[in-house]
A and B are shown apart, each in its own frame.
Chain A
Amino acid sequence: MRRWTSLAALATAMLLAPAVADAVPPHPLQDQVFRARDMVMPSLVHIEPILEVFRMGERGNIAVTGSGVIFSADGYVLTNNHVVENATRVTCTLSDQREVAADLVGRDPLTDLAVLKLREATPPDGWPHAELGDSDALQVGEYVMAMGSPLGLSRSLSVGVISSLNRFIPASQMPSGSPTGLYNTWIQTDAAINPGNSGGPLVSLDGKVIGINARAIPIFGENIGFAIPVSLAREIARDLILTGEVQRSWVGVRWQSTENLAGFFDLSDKDPQGAVVGSITHGSPAEEAGLQAGDVVLEYDGEPVNVRFEEQIPALEKRIANTPVGRQVPLLVLRQGQHQQVTMTTQRRAKTEGGQKDHPQWGFTVREVTQEMATSLNLPGPGGVMVTGVKPGSFAAEAGLRPGDLVMRLENIEIEDLAHWSQAAQEAVEQATNRLLLTVKRGPVRYFVVLKPIYTQPTALKAPASSRKSS
């Protein structure tokens, strides 16, 4: 009988066990998530900028949403460049749901990072802020949290792991025409990242920011998001706060890895050193130094170069970018089996974004031609402005102007740049010139376009076309 009793007691104890566990959570992961949440969530920012956009030959505004994170007691916020690019106004909603206006401190399209500063006076004990961690010590499989405003749903948190580190994605283009993602590989995570998460933090279990969420694959993929490593973000933020911009060196080389090319360039198969010069930009420091496509650069500034796989290209690009502008850099080059010393003088990287301008009286929009655009389109020089959009039914459309046309001349004025163009265009509008000759380049061909605008008395400005989206 006693035996029976004790069995019954045991059974009762087993039945009760889960309930007891619920009351006292001995779950270390859950604990860590809660703790990390509490460390970062208060510094999470929901950003609602109004962006100026140019499309179909007109200028308009769109309201977008994005995310950000306060990382200093005095109220600096890290986010993505593409969240605040062309913003006419930025409003931040803090974790306590207070709305605070913010000023743009600086943007860096090449890394897709930007820094804002909260406009309100700093509270006595500082703004709640998250600590920036170390992205160099991460491991695949490590638990992480993404925080932000996916699809505008503010203060959201998702949990996942690091799916891959050091993911190489070829540089892509921003809407402004600037390339981006040249200088970093990416942290890939399966913590859900959606449009709107952009600029929000990727957080480790110890409650530190390890990445800035920037990209998702919303159409074909699920649970594939990409974050910019925080080590890069920290550097860029420092530069933006100090000088409002990021200064970089440029040499004008497109690098290739030595993979499958080692034999061709007489490199050791087992341990091929160096990076292959794939392409050289006309007029660049590399060209001036006499570098050639097919050279293998073994040493840069006295340090060995090793780009065996394409994942290693961003690090080399970054090393070059971090070289002081105007420095004479010694290179050790392997050219047709011979070692050679070459000296190359770095140049400041020209700005990569072109400004835009609309011409509502004529019905088209234009963009500044940057050095980068001029090179990639094989234009004779940086002169002229590029037509980005033509409004259907406008005078410009009627005259046959097309997106992609490079406007070289307005009447007899040779257009130097966007400012010069804007001034010439404004004068023409002020004088109500009703017959204007535009000389454009369409591919390699020159075309002439006669604009015949009719100017009406200025009426009340129509509200610009508006829409809403998540970044």
Chain B
Amino acid sequence: MINRHLVPALLLALAVAPALAGDEARIRKAFRKAGPSVVPIHYTLRLLEAPEGGQGNKIEGVLCGVVAGPDGLIVTTADVFPDAGGDPRQTFMPTRFAIKIAGREFTARAVGLDRDRNLAFLKVDNPESFPAPPARFASRSPRPGERILLLGLLGELHEYAPTFTETRIVSSLAGKGQRFALEALVQDLTIGGLAVNLKGEGLGIIGEDLLESSPAGTAALAAAGNVLSLFSSLSQGQRPGYPVLFPYAGLLDDLIASPPALDLDPPERRGWLGIIMQPLSRDLADYWQVPGPGGVIIGSVLDGSPAEEAGLQVGDIILEVDDAPVRVRELRDLTRFRELVQRVGAGKEVPLAIFRGGERQIVPLTLGARPKNVFLAEQQEESEFGLTVKELTFDFVQATNTPSDVTGVFVAEIENAGWADVAGIRVNDVITAVQGQNVDDLQEFRLAMEQVHEQQPENVVFFLRRGMRTRFVPVSPDW
């Protein structure tokens, strides 16, 4: 009796064991191969507009990232980057990135941002000595049912040691066709990490689907770039709803082939309107009796933007772009509208159907290219002063409510206890003159600072603007 059952069981075990052992070995191998490409990114966020008299709130945190190129290119989620146009008193802006590996620290800077795919691109400042190997990416897309590994990191207690979760793709989501739902819930420090197949080939960067109506996702969008609310959900440990994997194998290949990552968001090709938007909610549509499936209310028209040139006004409602109806009812739909505009492309003339003063009108408009934003803005570091400035960008001007006639450079970074800090210069101050010489842009700032370095005056006087007020700040560097 015993024997009769034992034999098939033994046979079964013999048949399954190597398969199981082989599976384990594959997972081990895949983890060993791809794990070192997943790195912890330590970041610092600061309030875009510090409270009067305060030092400015600071948030520090750690994010998971994937080394994607031999030149120190790192891909992560765009969660820490606020949308332009949020309330500057509640908008946190990343001011510093550093990757820590084996006790060494490698500073990095943001080089690209893809808001729609929620991806950010960083570059390590000294790639020669950067030890983490770039990930290799698979050549084909994953399929539902496929088993994959999510490579992420353990928490601070465990010094961000690499870890993984084994899971399965349960759905390929409609729409852009490049998003996948997973079986497992995703831990905090897996967001921004790497999804690999059992060969250890990268399939994409792990993110969460902000567009789905998970409470966390909606909150993050509703706050229009308010990173705080996003972090309150981060701290809960697990994300509700389906986490989503974004495979970017093809995209990343392109990127690695043609750095820098500025190409990601090719400004010369993507269309841009230059407006701040509010969705036409059902309540507002009912109130104004606006027909159609939705629309976009213009809340602000940026100076010099295509929208301004076409004569669009605050309060206009965009109903159609290029004869396609604008189906925007809620904040989360705005991404769809942005994509539509970007897809149409810069330089293209499109008819816009708008609703103004109770009537429908057609306004022809030539889409422009999106100008540089603060992340891509050129910068200048003045190490003697402990000061880094950037050129004024449209989103900085917008977010800080800087009057449009102000020219200069803005303070992007201040070294703690550096001379600029000691003298009282703060992040987001706009420097408009150096030693009595007006500096209208970064080039003029550089020229003025060259003179300062030659002459080495005891006090270098910066004239700056903070909010609506101006002041002279003498800085005494240690020449």
Residues of chain A whose beta carbon lies under 8 Å from any beta carbon of chain B: 170, 172-173, 254, 256, 260-261, 263-264, 276, 278-282, 293-294, 375-378, 399, 404, 435, 437, 442-448, 450, 452
Q: Which of B61-110 contact A (CB under 8 A)?
A: 85, 87-89
Give every chain A residue within 8 A of B141 (Cβ-Cβ).
none
B469 lies within 8 A of A279 (CB): yes
Task: Known A378-B401, A445-B85, A450-B287; judge A261-B300 contact (CB<8 A).
Answer: no
Give every chain B residue within 8 A of A446 (Cβ-Cβ).
299-300, 314-315
User: For the complex, what is the distance from the CA of A446 to the CA of B458, rounded to whole Å?
Assistant: 47
B470 lies within 8 A of A264 (CB): no
* Chain-A contact segment, one of B197-205, B235-243, B251-259, B276-284: B276-284
Q: Which of B421-479 contact A (CB under 8 A)?
A: 435-436, 457-459, 461, 463, 467-472, 474, 476
Give every chain A residue within 8 A of B436 (Cβ-Cβ).
264, 294
Tier of interface size on chain B: 35 or more
Give every chain A residue within 8 A of B210 (Cβ-Cβ).
none
Can you give 24 A-B contacts (C-beta < 8 A)?
A256-B471, A260-B474, A261-B459, A261-B461, A264-B435, A264-B461, A264-B472, A276-B472, A278-B469, A278-B470, A278-B471, A280-B470, A282-B468, A293-B470, A294-B436, A294-B463, A376-B469, A378-B468, A404-B87, A442-B87, A445-B278, A446-B300, A450-B283, A450-B284
Residues of chain B whose beta carbon lies under 8 Å from any beta carbon of chain A: 52-53, 85, 87-89, 276, 278, 281, 283-284, 286-287, 297, 299-300, 314-315, 398-399, 401, 403, 435-436, 457-459, 461, 463, 467-472, 474, 476
In the complex, the chain B residue whose C-beta lies closest to that of A170 is B53
User: For the complex, what is the distance from the CA of A282 to the CA of B283, rounded to whole Å?
Assistant: 39
B476 lies within 8 A of A260 (CB): yes
User: For the complex, what is the distance from the CA of A279 to the CA of B468, rounded to whole Å?
Assistant: 9
Task: Known A279-B470, A378-B467; judge A450-B281 contact (CB<8 A).
Answer: yes
Give every chain A residue within 8 A of B87 (Cβ-Cβ).
404, 442-443
A-B pair count, CB < 8 Å, reads: 89
User: For the complex, what is the distance from the CA of A442 to the CA of B467, rounded to whole Å?
Assistant: 16
User: For the complex, what is the distance from the CA of A282 to the CA of B474, rounded to whole Å?
Assistant: 24
B319–chain A nearest beta-carbon distance, Å: 16
B318–chain A nearest beta-carbon distance, Å: 14
In the complex, the chain A residue whose C-beta lies closest to that of B468 is A378
**Which of B85, B287, B468, B472 contacts A261 (CB under 8 A)?**
B472
**Which of B53, B284, B458 contacts A172 (CB under 8 A)?**
B53
User: For the complex, what is the distance from the CA of A279 to the CA of B287, rounded to whole Å?
Assistant: 45
User: For the complex, what is the distance from the CA of A435 to the CA of B399, rounded to whole Å?
Assistant: 31
User: For the complex, what is the distance from the CA of A245 to the CA of B436, rounded to whole Å?
Assistant: 42
**Which of B281, B401, B403, B459 contacts A263 (CB under 8 A)?**
B459
In the complex, the chain B residue whose C-beta lies closest to that of A374 is B468
Further pairs besides A261-B459, A264-B472, A264-B474: 9, Cβ < 8 Å: A172-B53, A260-B459, A261-B461, A263-B458, A282-B468, A437-B287, A442-B87, A444-B401, A446-B315
Give every chain B residue within 8 A of A281 (Cβ-Cβ).
468
A182–chain B nearest beta-carbon distance, Å: 14
In the complex, the chain A residue whose C-beta lies closest to that of B402 is A378
With most chain A CB atoms within 10 A of its CB, the pick from B53, B278, B314, B399 is B278
User: For the complex, what is the distance from the CA of A157 to the CA of B315, rounded to whole Å?
Assistant: 62
User: For the complex, what is the distance from the CA of A378 to the CA of B402, rounded to whole Å?
Assistant: 9
Give every chain B residue within 8 A of A404 (Cβ-Cβ).
87, 89
Give every chain B residue within 8 A of A261 (Cβ-Cβ).
459, 461, 472, 474
B297 lies within 8 A of A448 (CB): yes
Give every chain A residue within 8 A of B472 (Cβ-Cβ).
256, 261, 264, 276, 278, 293-294
User: For the complex, what is the distance from the CA of A170 to the CA of B65, rounded to whole Å?
Assistant: 44
User: For the complex, what is the distance from the CA of A264 to the CA of B87, rounded to whole Å?
Assistant: 37
In the complex, the chain A residue whose C-beta lies closest to that of B52 is A173
Give every chain B residue within 8 A of A442 (Cβ-Cβ).
87, 299
Give every chain A residue within 8 A of B300 (Cβ-Cβ).
444-446
User: For the complex, what is the distance from the CA of A276 to the CA of B297, rounded to whole Å?
Assistant: 46
User: For the complex, what is the distance from the CA of A394 to the CA of B200, rounded to whole Å?
Assistant: 52
Give every chain B residue within 8 A of A254 (Cβ-Cβ).
469-471
User: For the complex, what is the distance from the CA of A376 to the CA of B297, rounded to whole Å?
Assistant: 28
User: For the complex, what is the distance from the CA of A365 to the CA of B458, rounded to whole Å?
Assistant: 51
With most chain B CB atoms within 10 A of its CB, the pick from A260, A280, A399 is A260
User: For the complex, what is the distance from the CA of A149 to the CA of B88, rounded to whole Å?
Assistant: 41
In the complex, the chain A residue whose C-beta lies closest to that of B459 is A260
Give every chain A residue within 8 A of B299 (Cβ-Cβ).
442, 445-447
A450–chain B nearest beta-carbon distance, Å: 4
Give every chain A residue within 8 A of B286 (Cβ-Cβ).
435
B468 lies within 8 A of A375 (CB): yes
B457 lies within 8 A of A443 (CB): no
**Which of B89, B278, B399, B458 contacts A447 (CB under 8 A)?**
B278
A175–chain B nearest beta-carbon distance, Å: 14
Give every chain B residue within 8 A of A377 (Cβ-Cβ).
401, 468
In the complex, the chain A residue whose C-beta lies closest to that of B87 is A443
User: For the complex, what is the distance from the CA of A376 to the CA of B52, rounded to whole Å?
Assistant: 11
User: For the complex, what is the distance from the CA of A281 to the CA of B286, rounded to whole Å?
Assistant: 43
B356–chain A nearest beta-carbon distance, Å: 14
| Pairs A-B, 5 closest by C-beta atoms | A260-B474, A450-B283, A445-B299, A279-B469, A279-B470
Task: Known A443-B87, A445-B300, A446-B300; judge A378-B459 contact (CB<8 A).
Answer: no
Give every chain B residue within 8 A of A450 (Cβ-Cβ).
281, 283-284, 287
B457 lies within 8 A of A293 (CB): no
B286–chain A nearest beta-carbon distance, Å: 8
User: For the complex, what is the distance from the CA of A407 to the CA of B284, rounded to whole Å?
Assistant: 17
A443–chain B nearest beta-carbon distance, Å: 6
Give every chain A residue within 8 A of B88 (Cβ-Cβ).
443
Give every chain A residue within 8 A of B53 (Cβ-Cβ).
170, 172
A435 lies within 8 A of B287 (CB): yes
Give every chain A residue within 8 A of B469 (Cβ-Cβ).
254, 278-279, 376
Give every chain B residue within 8 A of A435 (Cβ-Cβ).
283, 286-287
A7–chain B nearest beta-carbon distance, Å: 68
User: For the complex, what is the distance from the CA of A377 to the CA of B53, rounded to whole Å?
Assistant: 15
B70–chain A nearest beta-carbon distance, Å: 42
User: For the complex, what is the distance from the CA of A263 to the CA of B474, rounded to whole Å?
Assistant: 10
User: For the complex, what is the distance from the CA of A378 to the CA of B436, rounded to whole Å?
Assistant: 25
User: For the complex, what is the distance from the CA of A442 to the CA of B470, rounded to whole Å?
Assistant: 23
Task: Known A172-B53, A264-B435; judge A448-B470 contact (CB<8 A).
Answer: no
**Which of B284, B403, B468, B471 contacts A448 (CB under 8 A)?**
B284
